[in-house]
C-alpha cells in the first residue's frame, strides 16, 4: 500500500484502491451474497415476500437432490467438462512445448497471432460457425468425404460431441497460455541434460518437463474445467437432442420458471461441488493452491 502511494501518489493510488474495492465488493461479493441469501428463501408471489411464509430453509437445495434427472445432468456436466479439460491438455501441451522449446523466436510471434485471432471474434459467432461446420451436410463432412476418410456423413451434432468440440475450441487457449508459460520457464539445459544422460524423449517429458509444468497445467486445467462446467452459450448453441448441460437447468429455473431462489441454489451447488471436485483432483495430482498462483 505504501509502495503504491509512493509510486503513483496518493490521489491515483486512492483511485486504484477504490476501483478495485468497487469491483470486488459491488460487482462480485454483493451479487453473490444476494443470490446466496435468496437461495435459502422460498419462491413466493411478490405479495408474500417478507411475509410469514418467507422463512429460511434448505428446500431449494433439496429440490436438486430429489430430482434424479438434475443429478444425472450434473454429473454428466462434470464428466464432460473433465473430458474437455483432458482434450485441451492433449492439444495444448505439445503446442506449448513446440512454441516454447522448438520453434525459433522468429516465428513464435506469428504463431501466437494466429492463435489469438479467433479470440477477437465473439464467442457467439464462433459457436455459430461450428454449428455450420458440424452440420450433417456441412463443410467438415463434405471435406472428410472428399478426402475419402469417411464414406457416410457423421452426425456430429449428436450426444455431447458437438458441445465437446465447441468447448475445446473455445477454451483451449486458457490451457495453452499457462502451460506455455510453465514450459517456457524451464531451463532448456535441463532438457538437454536429461537427453545427455541417455533419456529418450518421452522420459524427458515425463520426468523433467511435465513435473516442471505441473503448476501451469493445474492452473490451465482448473480454468478450463470451471469455464466448461459454467458455460451456457456453447452447450445451448451446439446442443443435440440428447445433450443437456447443468447451466441450462439453472437458466431454466431463473428465466423460464422465474424462480431465482431455486436457480441460485443450483448455481451455488454447481460452484460448491466443482470446487470440491477440483480440490480433490489437485490433491490426487499433488498440486497446491500456491503452485497455481505462481
Residues making contact with other proteins (CB under 8 A): 187, 189-190, 192-200, 203, 207-208, 211-212
Shortest Å distance, C-beta 220 to other proteins: 19
Q: Which is nearer to other proteins, 151 or 196 (CB)?
A: 196
Q: Which is nearer to other proteins, 104 or 152 (CB)?
A: 104
Q: Which is nearer to other proteins, 66 or 192 (CB)?
A: 192
Shortest Å distance, C-beta 218 to other proteins: 14
First-to-last CA distance in the chain?
21
Shortest Å distance, C-beta 182 to other proteins: 12
Q: Which is nearer to other proteins, 152 or 189 (CB)?
A: 189
Shortest Å distance, C-beta 197 to other proteins: 4
Shortest Å distance, C-beta 187 to other proteins: 6
The set of cell numbers assigned to 125 is 459467432
Q: Which is nearer to other proteins, 241 or 290 (CB)?
A: 290
Shortest Å distance, C-beta 103 to other proteins: 17
Secondary structure of the chain in HEC code, one letter for each residue = CHHHHHHHCHHHHHHHHHHHHHHHHHHHHHHHHHHHHHCCCCCCCHHHCCCCCCCCCCHHHHHHHCCHHHHHHHHHHHHHHHHHHHHHHHHHHHHHHHHHHHCCCCCHHHHHHHHHHHHHCCHHHHHHHHHHHCCCCCHHHHHHHHCCCCCCCCCCCCCCHHHHHHHHHHHHHHHHHHHHHHHHCCCHHHHHHHHHCCCCHHHHHHHHHHHHHHHHHHHHHHHHHHHHHCCCHHHHHCCCCCCCCHHHHHHHHHHHCCCHHHHHHHHHHHHHHHHHHHHHHHHHCCCCHHHHHC
CA 1 from centroid of its chain's CA atoms: 33
Q: Which is nearer to other proteins, 50 or 211 (CB)?
A: 211
Shortest Å distance, C-beta 178 to other proteins: 18
Q: Which is nearer to other proteins, 217 or 239 (CB)?
A: 217
Amino acid at each position: 500500500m505504501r509502495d503504491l502511494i509512493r509510486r503513483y501518489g496518493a490521489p491515483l493510488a486512492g483511485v486504484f484502491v477504490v476501483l478495485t474495492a468497487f469491483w470486488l465488493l459491488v460487482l462480485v461479493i454483493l451479487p453473490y451474497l444476494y443470490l446466496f441469501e435468496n437461495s435459502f428463501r422460498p419462491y413466493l408471489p411478490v405479495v408474500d415476500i417478507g411475509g410469514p411464509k418467507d422463512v429460511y430453509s434448505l428446500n431449494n437445495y433439496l429440490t436438486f437432490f430429489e430430482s434424479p434427472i438434475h443429478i444425472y445432468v450434473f454429473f454428466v456436466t462434470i464428466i464432460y467438462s473433465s473430458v474437455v479439460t483432458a482434450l485441451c491438455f492433449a492439444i495444448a501441451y505439445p503446442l506449448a512445448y513446440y512454441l516454447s522449446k522448438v520453434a525459433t523466436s522468429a516465428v513464435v510471434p506469428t504463431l501466437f497471432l494466429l492463435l489469438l485471432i479467433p479470440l477477437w471474434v465473439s464467442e457467439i459467432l464462433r459457436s455459430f460457425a461450428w454449428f455450420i461446420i458440424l452440420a450433417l451436410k456441412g463443410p467438415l463432412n463434405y471435406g472428410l468425404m472428399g478426402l475419402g476418410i469417411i464414406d457416410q456423413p457423421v452426425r456430429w451434432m449428436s450426444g455431447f460431441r458437438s458441445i465437446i468440440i465447441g468447448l475445446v475450441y473455445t477454451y483451449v487457449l486458457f490451457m495453452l497460455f499457462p502451460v506455455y508459460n510453465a514450459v517456457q520457464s524451464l531451463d532448456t539445459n535441463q532438457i538437454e541434460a536429461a537427453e545427455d544422460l541417455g533419456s529418450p524423449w518421452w522420459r524427458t517429458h515425463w520426468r523433467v518437463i511435465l513435473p516442471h509444468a505441473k503448476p501451469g497445467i493445474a492452473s490451465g486445467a482448473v480454468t478450463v474445467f470451471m469455464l466448461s462446467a459454467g458455460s451456457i452459450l456453447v452447450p445451448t448453441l451446439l446442443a443435440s437432442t440428447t445433450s443437456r448441460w447443468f447451466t441450462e437447468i439453472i437458466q431454466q429455473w431463473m428465466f423460464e420458471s422465474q424462480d431465482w431462489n431455486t436457480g441460485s441454489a443450483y448455481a451455488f451447488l454447481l460452484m460448491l461441488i466443482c470446487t470440491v471436485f477440483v480440490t480433490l483432483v489437485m490433491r490426487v495430482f499433488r498440486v497446491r493452491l500456491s503452485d497455481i498462483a505462481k
